[in-house]
Chains A and B, each alone.
Chain A
Amino acid sequence: MRRRWPKTVAGVLITFVYLLPVYWMLNTSFKKPADIFATPPQLVPLAPTLRSYADAAFGNPAIAKGLANSAVIAIGTTLVTVLVAVPAAYALARLRLRGVSVVLMLFLVVQMVPAVNLALPMFAIFSDLGLVNSYAGLILANASLAIPLGIVLLRPYFLSVPGEILEAARVDGCSTFTAFVRIAVPISRPGLITLAVISFLGAWGEFVFGLALASDENLQPITVVLAGLTNAFGTRWNDLMAVSAVVALPVIAAFVFLQRYIVAGLTEGATKS
């Protein structure tokens, strides 16, 4: 037992060094403008200030709008993804026919499609349908890749639901739909949480669709707004890091609370598909 603790110390060190960029972002975001350029660099902000957060991150209307847009898009994407992917994953876990493997293969392959390959034609297609510069268009675009991923990720969870329970429920008069909602979905809750978190975070951090499909500044997600501000901020690294930290905040929060689910989900999805 005694020999395991040095490994923990080494592990903490490795993790800290690996995540140094994240620390450096937070560190810089709390510095005064003059302190950013101190030599040697301050490893801990000596005179920490929330100025960058007050002025740049939360005091800038363009950024507030971008954050709100991203929230709408990410929540919408999560809802659509869960509603569409969950029943499909269930069906693909339950059905035992040759056609199933073809459909499953399709969903696996779709995940390899580059976002740029979809963003370009979507611009033309969505222009026709009036979906460019709309939340609906951005939600559709984001869900396009989240749904196949969700199906592949969730299927192993539904495979682990014993078929006997579902059949017993049906014999007792449950319809396919109620058996699915009352039995299969609750058992697969960890997978559902993983899927919801991953699709939310994916849409929150998405950049290409936002860039290609939202030229209207009132509809741009925060990622596109931030990319646009990057040059305007010049060497105000503290402001840029503060905004970056705010964009990273939901991701970090989701991770702190849900890391167990996410890691389990990823491992299952990666090894059992």
Chain B
Amino acid sequence: MAITVPQERLLTSRTTLRRNNAAEYLFLVPAVLFVGFTVLYPLAYNVVQSFQDVGIAQIVSGQAKYVGLDNYADQFGRPEFWESFGISLVYTGGTVLVTFVAGLALALFFHRDFPGRNVLRALLLLAWVLPTVVSANVWRWLLDGTYGLLNTVLGTEIFWLGAPSTAMIAVVLASAWSFAPFAMILLLAGLQGISGSLYEAARIDGAGAWAQFRRITLPLLKPVSLTTVLLCFISTFKTFDTVFLMTQGGPGGATEVLPVYAYKLAFSFYKFDVAAVATTMLLVVPVVLSVFYFRSLRKEELA
């Protein structure tokens, strides 16, 4: 059905459209205000605090002195800070590695077409959405030194959360368990983007499964893999709850990652100023990483 619009109506509708565009800007206002107040303002506040002398008295009075870079000098001069930084890197590196390998293995398996595949994929995500308090409790029980299921299965009697090195393995394991299904979903999306005809051609040329994986899957999955690793790094590097709930940062500070270190400075010792230094560092690392990532992406696009 052809619709003829009278000329004058067309004109008014065009002006309405222009006005409507402005109205669509208004749709953004609540979100911008909200994010401004609950994210940007606290972040700025945090950075300001890192240059001030803030203890519990100043939190109550709301008045704090500026001390320049004193807090930074204080933290950067402390071995505990660097230890915590190193622990964060070990924890994050381990978790990203295990998450990526497990996520890729799951993705490769669940990419194949078989009945029930979609339901099983979704079920796996349960590990990812389970509240951390729940998974932390369950993992503590699984890892129990005397009666834990893991020891029974392995035939060992390891007090996983009692020694520094095994406690690190434990938090990495629990974190990777929650993140891997999410990595799987991202990688599955990547696998779907690889054309099946490439594999067919490779098969005709006599390439085996491993050769196909190395020569086709891995290279073509690279952009999605990089995104997955970056997202996983960012979310692990800032993880507070899994570690805090499983080990409280112990034993003997062995799993005191930067977020836990910062939290303890603030809420156990009321040193909000140096805690702000630690949390600022928590932001700097992922931002630097992302900048490199987006640069490499752009370079690849140009090449």
Contacts and interface: CB of A to CB of B under 8 A. Distances in A.
A148 B35 contact: yes
B35 A11 contact: no
Nearest to A230: B137
A124 interface: yes
Interface stretch (B12-20, B72-80, B93-101, B164-172): B12-20
A91 B141 contact: no
Interface stretch (A47-55, A56-64, A82-90): A82-90
Interface stretch (B22-30, B195-203, B209-217): B22-30
A8 to B, nearest CB: 5
Nearest to A10: B109
Query: For chain B, what secondary structure do more than half of its interface residues adopt (helix, strand, loop), or is it mixed?
Result: helix
Interface footprint category on A: 35 or more
Interface in A11-64: 11-12, 14-15, 18-22, 24-25, 28, 36-37, 39-41
B28 A252 contact: no
Nearest to B128: A266
A241 B141 contact: yes
Contact of A263 (B109, B121, B286): B121
Contacts of A141: 38
Contacts of B181: 18
Given A87-B27, A122-B42, A140-B38, A41 B124 contact: no
B177 interface: yes
Contacts of A21: 127, 135, 138-139, 142, 177
Contact of A36 (B38, B133, B147, B276): B147
B13 A11 contact: no
Contacts of B266: 120, 123
B31 interface: yes
Interface string A72-110: 000000000001110110111011000000010011011
B206 to A, nearest CB: 22
30 contacts: A11-B110, A15-B123, A21-B142, A22-B138, A41-B147, A41-B152, A87-B27, A87-B28, A88-B32, A94-B24, A103-B32, A120-B279, A121-B276, A124-B45, A171-B5, A171-B9, A176-B20, A177-B23, A201-B129, A205-B134, A226-B137, A247-B133, A247-B134, A248-B130, A248-B131, A255-B125, A263-B121, A263-B185, A266-B182, A266-B185
Given A14-B109, A22-B126, A117-B43, 18 more contacts: A4-B113, A22-B130, A24-B141, A24-B142, A84-B34, A91-B28, A107-B35, A114-B240, A116-B238, A116-B263, A122-B42, A147-B35, A208-B241, A237-B141, A251-B129, A263-B121, A267-B185, A267-B188
Interface of B: 5, 9, 13, 16-17, 20-21, 23-25, 27-28, 30-32, 34-35, 37-39, 41-43, 45-46, 49, 54, 59-60, 62, 106, 109-110, 112-127, 129-135, 137-142, 144, 146-147, 149, 152, 177, 181-182, 185-186, 188-189, 234, 237-238, 240-241, 244-245, 259, 262-263, 266-267, 272, 275-276, 279, 282-283, 286-287, 290
The 4 A-B pairs with the shortest beta carbon distances in the complex, nearest first, are A205-B131, A114-B238, A88-B31, A144-B38
